[in-house]
Amino acid sequence: MERKLVTIVCADVAGYSRLIGLDEEGTIARLRDHLGALINPKIAKHAGRVVKTMGDGLLIEFGSPVEAVRCAVEVQVGIAAREATIPEDRRIRFRIGINLGDVVAEDGDVLGDGVNIAARLQILADIGGICLSRSARDQVRDRLPLEFEDMGQQSVRNIARPIQCYRACFDGIAPRPSKLHARRRWLITGLAATGLAGLAGVVWLSTGTDVVKGGKGPTTVAAPMPQSVTAEAQKEAARLSIVVLPFRNLSSEPDQDYFADGLTDDITTDLSRIAGSFVIARNTAVTFKQTSSDERTVANVLRVRYLLEGSVRRAGDQVRVNARLIDGSTGGQLWSERFEHDMRDIAAFQDEVTGRIVNALSLELVATEAHRAQLAHPNDPDTIDLTMRGWWLMRQPADHQRMLDARQLFERALQRAPQFVPGLLGLATTYADMVFLTWSEDRNTDLDRADAVLAQVFAVSPQNAVAFYIRAHIFFGRGQLQDAIDACETSLALDHNYASAYGFLAAMVRLDGHPERSVKLLQQAMLLSPRDPEMWTWLQYLGRAQSDLGQAEDAIANFRRAITINPAAPAYQWTLLSTAYARAKHPMEAKDAMDTFLRLSPHLMDGKSEEVVRAMHLQIQLALRGYYLGVIDGDIGRQTRKALAWFQRDQGIAASEQADDETVRRLGLSQPVSGR
């Protein structure tokens, strides 16, 4: 074991999963080109060494901190220049963290706090920016034509003491970032100590004690957020207070006024159903239709934090709607989206626009409020602050540690207010999803805990859409498929824009033998929330339905997209890909996918009974032959029995749904299996 003092550079592509979702092949090709033509030559020029690559990231070692920073700046400037002709939402941009510290060198790798700090600095960096530790900054500040902006001390996960951080400002070399920090960086700063996220339905929070709305949506434009929120503004504007300003008709046809007014009414109505929220009534909002007041003035007069405004324009047979969310304290734009549709189905278009906007705002506003909470109460968060931070974590693609971190936040919130419904819903979700994502160490106990927490929710909020959505997961975890379907249908009856409920219902109706309906439900979920954090799960559900419909190649494509979007998801997604390859008559690819699953699950069979291990081998062999689209869990349940029957019919033996001697022999196994 060798110790040495080196400069560690950690670089990561910002929003890589989103970029892959937009253009998988183009993003991968451009990144590969940047590595070959720019990044690797720069590293070699400055005497660096690539320690390892991590999909969309790099870990690099330099002997000199000066050369490390020079290399980082040249890479950031070079990437910006090379991506200048690419549309803004598809550009590859890096975040880079740099630390000078002591590391352990072992078999070509570097380990220890010196590396961990660089990784945390990368998370804190602006998009296209560089974040340095104090140890690195002190070595370069008088040696390079750069300025370094003090970001203060940041507490981050798994590092005992706060890190003094600095932003490198590229004066004369590249545009200097604004001192109004990007909203994402501030949010990450506040949450870096707890990690990121997991799978969940979306919850709207307010100063009230209820939750009304579920669903997720696109976030396409990020704007700077203020560095402080004044006490006066906090008193005057309630959390999640909003006004929907009348949408403007920009068409030459006056008859489009009815469409613009209808959109305004529908969005206001849907937002107004949120218990405990503060939404300005349509009759008041309409008084600002012809005024020239700026957004901050309107927000101040109405005492709201947010404004939604938009426009409608007709061009031939097409109608275009633009919508944007405004921060009332700064006038800055937080989110925007554009919708286009054919005039011949204008009613359906109006429903689509309303649903997508409401879903988008549910995601955007909670993220923004979590950020505000961090600014207002960084060291002494209250119940609502803790709950909003927990739900923000649950909005990210599924990750085991992030879900545990969110649970801890909800538990802290409930210690302060035991009956706070948003906190109860969050806690119940963590228990139910741990089972659903196969991360639970005790399924029955976690399902019982989720059920007990939901009972408290229903006692005070019996018509809660999110609660019924979570109940569907509990029923599903207990094998009560029809009850799960009924609970999810109830959730959608209470909230017809709940994208997550459409997605989960799709998974269940497919198991109930209706893959065609499953596809339609997934199309609705993706229409309502096209950039949803749950997209990877929806793609899995879609792939399963397509497999059932004999569309094996389409299923393979969607399973691969799901893995690309969220490679940190449970490893069982590789078993789905293995089955799809087998159904498409690609046995070698099926075996490779199953080998990947087994490699990612080294302790899969540890501590299991001999009977359960035999059942797992049975499921693996069924998947390798294209018969089993499920989790390798040793449970001879509904899915495994269905796969057995299918295999037995194809083999010309009695479809008993049991792993009898003849079935086991034909699968290449040695002993009968009864399962658990």
**What is the residue extent of each domain of the chain?**
2-177, 231-362, 571-676
Q: What is the mean pLDDT of residues 311-326?
A: 82
Adjacent-strand bridge partners of 319: 314, 341
Q: What's the CA gap between 301 and 245, in Å, rounded?
A: 13
Query: For residue 277, what are the contacts with CB-CB under 8 A and spacing of at least 6?
Result: 204, 206, 208, 212, 240, 241, 242, 271
Given a contact cutoff of 8 angstroms between Cβ atoms, the answer to whether 62 and 68 are in contact is yes
Q: What band does 214 get if pLDDT is binned at 50, 70 and 90?
A: very low
Q: Give the closest residue to 214 by CA, choosing from 503, 486, 430, 521.
A: 503
Q: What is the pLDDT of residues 127-179, one digit of tens each?
A: 889 999 999 998 898 788 888 888 887 766 667 677 889 999 874 343 333 33
pLDDT tens readout for residues 329-340: 778 777 788 888
The whole-number average pLDDT for the span 372-395 is 69
Check whether domain 2-177 has CATH 3.30.70.1230, yes or no: yes
What is the average pLDDT across 22-37? 89
Pick from 179-188, 231-240, 380-389, 539-548: least confident: 179-188
**Lowest-confidence region among 73-87, 326-340, 465-479, 554-568:** 326-340
pLDDT of 228 above 50: no
Rounded mean pLDDT, 299-327: 83
pLDDT for residue 197: 27
Confidence (pLDDT) at 181: 34
Out of 219-223, 370-374, 417-421, 587-591, the most confident range is 587-591
519-538: average pLDDT: 86
The pLDDT assigned to 374 comes to 55
Do 214 and 500 touch, CB atoms closer than 8 A? yes
Mean pLDDT on 221-235: 32
pLDDT of amino acid 1: 66
Instruction: Name the more confident of 240 and 34.
Output: 34
Q: Of 580 and 217, which is predicted with more confidence? A: 580
Tell me the C-alpha distance between 12 and 55, whole Å: 9
The rounded mean pLDDT for the chain is 80
Q: Residue 671: pLDDT above 60?
A: yes
Binning pLDDT at 50, 70 and 90, where does residue 584 land? very high
Segment 101-128 shows an average pLDDT of 87
Residue 209 has pLDDT above 50, yes or no: no
The pLDDT value given to residue 238 = 65
- For residue 635, give the nearest of 429, 401, 435 by alpha carbon: 435
* DSSP alpha helix (H) spans, 340-464: 346-376, 383-394, 400-416, 421-436, 443-460
Bigger pLDDT: 29 vs 364: 29
Q: Range with the lowest mean pLDDT among 381-390, 509-518, 528-537, 612-621? A: 381-390
Span 9-25, mean pLDDT? Answer: 86
Q: Determine the Cα–Cα distance for residues 63 and 48; give it in Å rounded to an integer.
A: 7
CATH class of 231-362: alpha beta
The tens digit of pLDDT for each residue in 621-651 reads 999 999 999 889 898 888 899 999 999 999 9
580 and 539 in contact (C-beta within 8 Å)? no
Higher-confidence position of 293 and 333: 333
Question: 370 near 190, Cβ under 8 Å?
Answer: yes
Task: Give 519's pLDDT tier (boundaries 50, 70, 90).
Answer: very high
Please say if the pLDDT value at position 217 is more than 70. no
Q: Check residue 194 and give its pLDDT.
A: 28
Work out the average pLDDT over 253-262: 72
31: which strand partners? Answer: none
Tell me: the pLDDT tens digits for 67-109?
999 999 999 999 988 988 888 888 999 999 999 988 888 888 8
Q: Are 591 and 642 in contact (CB under 8 A)?
A: no
Q: What is the pTM of this model?
A: 0.55
What distance in Å separates the CA atoms of residue 674 and residue 676, rounded to the nearest whole number?
7
Angle (nearest 5°) at CA 393 between 25 and 463: 110
